[in-house]
Amino acid sequence: MKKKIFIACDTTNIATIKKIISHSKTTKLIIGYKFGLEFFYSKLGRSFLGQLKNKIVWLDLKLKDIPNTVSSSIHALKDLQHARYLTIHASGGLEMMKAAKQAANKTNKKLKILGVTVLTSFSESAIKQTGHTKKINNIVIQQAKLAKQAGLDGIICSGHEARLIKKICKGMEIITPGIRLPGDTKQDQKRVMTPQDAFNNGATGIVIGRSITSGNIKNNIQKLIASLN
């Protein structure tokens, strides 16, 4: 089975995005493209996303607000019918997640709603600074259970929690960011993992950014394929 890979397109430069898409073509992997707030908020970003109708597009907007606002925001994306994934923060609560899923069902039935748990930039000490008293694993488990109850399509968590979440969220997608090719530096991430280890831990898909987009993209794709064999 082909592995599902999402390339993080963290730039506002459309020429760079076009290069990433062009140079990452391969028949050995399922490739999707993740666009975050940086690109979505850029002057030409949203209109460009409307042109990617033959690509797997992930809107990594990480919505978190009162249920009505999140619902209205998803309805406002109705022109992007080819988008296949959208992220919301699981910490927004059960009712917010339910509202998001209901809005997606009405607006774009092919849009999968993914619940983001604890960001991979958080360490145990950093999460305590925000007022949490539980360990990251326990927070992720609790949020994943809520996301499942809300009827979401998938969970975003680090590869370190994927094995735990797989047992809880059977049938849901488990996508792990914080992925680095063997030998790459962590940079601003804390809870990182190699592609193969993430899949071994139960991930159904991974997010990989700078390990692919920095330097020679074609060569980096080959390194990724080799690391998965």
What are the residue numbers of the active site? 62
Measured distance CA(74)–CA(85) in Å, rounded = 11
Q: Is the dihedral of CA 52, 54, 55, 58 positive or negative?
A: positive
Measured distance CA(37)–CA(15) in Å, rounded = 18
Residues 6 or more apart whose CB falls under 8 angstroms from that of 225 comprise: 26, 28, 29
Residues 6 or more apart whose CB falls under 8 angstroms from that of 125 comprise: none
